[in-house]
Amino acid sequence: MGLKAKRELNSDLNLTPFIDLLSTLVCFLLISAVWIQVASMDLKQSHGTDSGAPKETAALDVVLGEPGSATVILKKGSKTLNRTQLKEASNKELVTALQKTVVGLKNLPAMKNSNIESVLVAPHAKVIHGDMVSVLDGFRLNGIMNIGVKPSAGEK
């Protein structure tokens, strides 16, 4: 009569590798989201199309040279008010000297009824990233929030 015996189909799936992969992806997502928050630094654009500073306010141009040296240029509008050369033994001393220079520039007679609104930093190609971040933090400590970074100033 030829009735075929029905075989039972085993449809059990091994979900363990899928769960392992899914948990790894969720962990990666959570860790990368935390690192993005920790590693972020809020900066406003100080020059360019969406300029945060009006044209007649005072601005600083800072050229970071060889490690331990910098040139600070104070501008009001298109006029250069002051140019200061700094040369320190270490980058930590340079950050302190930059902070003192900013305080001194704020007290100049030409800065009466004005405030330094923005800073544009141009690092030399040999400047270490951590040192540049320390300089940017120093400006933030002095109340300057409009900070920009130009591409490398090259081999000067």
Q: Is 107 within the bounds of a domain? A: yes
Q: Which domain holds residue 115?
A: 58-149
Query: pTM above the 0.75 mark?
Result: no
What is the mean predicted confidence (pLDDT) over 99-114?
A: 77
Answer whether residue 120 is part of any domain. yes
- Give the domain CATH number at 144: 3.30.420.40
Say if 25 falls within a structural domain: no
* Percent of the chain scoring above 70 in pLDDT: 78
Spatial CB neighbours of 26, under 8 Å, sequence gap ≥ 6: none
Q: For 12-40, how does the pLDDT look when each residue is reduced to its tens digit (9 = 90+)?
A: 788 999 999 999 999 999 888 877 666 55
102 lies in some domain = yes
Other Cβ atoms within 10 Å of 153 Cβ, number: 16
Compute the distance between CA of residue 37 and CA of residue 102 in angstroms, rounded to an integer.
Answer: 30
Count CA within 13 A, CB hemisphere, residue 95. Answer: 17
- Please give the distance of CA 46 from its chain centroid, rounded to a whole number: 13
What's the total number of domains in the chain?
Answer: 1
Q: Evaluate whether residue 78 is within a structural domain.
A: yes
Residue 22 falls inside a structural domain: no
